Structure 1
């Protein structure tokens, strides 16, 4: 049970990072709210579990993570687009998501549906790192 708790905590932390302010050219999130459910630091890593809600039409803004993010879709459908603007991932309730770390993994999460997207996200980051690093739109026709 403890391993499941840490998994969920890490995923929530990672997604939350995406909501923090960053560079001047960053694309801000919209329609996103989050609640930290648990957090701890072990062995130089922060494990943060968050529940994130993205309202219809909302998005996380373009971002990347300094650590690995693990998420489970609880409600709604999340569309994630990578920085090449063409690679889309659609995640429905019960689907899991793993987002790798690093500035070479810029992406955006959007709710293109008519009901809220609810995610449980566990962030596993280097201790003291933000949950996400904002990034500029890589040139996609949407924000």
Structure 2
């Protein structure tokens, strides 16, 4: 009976059209909407992961209209995607950038900056910190 079952399974596998496997893979890629693919942060600095054990942290950040993040920096790469609203980030001597709902960014690493909700509704973003070892996701910095 086992031989018959093995033979039937083999025959069933051979009966699957080769194109069906390719079609399934192609349909999966159709489900993806790329948000970002780059190897430098928003200021053009090449990404580098911290030493040590990997640690990924994901969070939703919400800032009310007129609210600020406060001056801070990141010791690890940070991917952010704006879900709602508008955020203007001041990078000091490197200028300001405004991000709106639907925008994605690899935030500046090792550079002090401050984000302000310059819109009329709460700004919400998803932040994914790609950390490791003892590196801090966010470090509070003095106002320049």
Shorter chain as denominator, the TM-score bin is 0.5 to 0.7
Gaps of 5+ in 2: 1-27, 36-51
Q: Which has the higher contact order (CA 8 A, sep 6+)?
A: 1
Distance 1:82 1:131 in 2: 18
2:71 aligned with 1:65, yes or no? Answer: no
Task: Give the superposed CA RMSD.
Answer: 2.2
Q: Which has the higher strand share?
A: 1
Partner of 2:108: 100
Deviation at 1:131, TM superposition (A): 2.1
CA deviation digits over 1:45-88, x for unaligned, max 9?
2100101100011111001001011000000001001022x611
Equivalent residue pairs, number: 96
Q: Are the equivalent residues in 1 in contact too, given 2:65–2:122 (CA < 8 A)?
A: yes
CA contact (8 A) 1:66 1:126 kept: no
Q: Which has the higher helix share?
A: 2
The correspondence for 2:59, drawn from 44, 50, 53, is: 50
Q: TM-score, normalised by structure 2?
A: 0.61
CA distance in 2, matches of 1:53, 1:77: 11
Unaligned runs of 5+ in 1: 8-42, 139-143
* Conservation of the 8 A alpha-carbon contact between 1:80 and 1:110: yes
* Aligned position for 1:77: 86
Q: Distance in 2 between matches of 1:117 and 1:100?
A: 19
**Structure 2 SS opposite 1:60:** coil
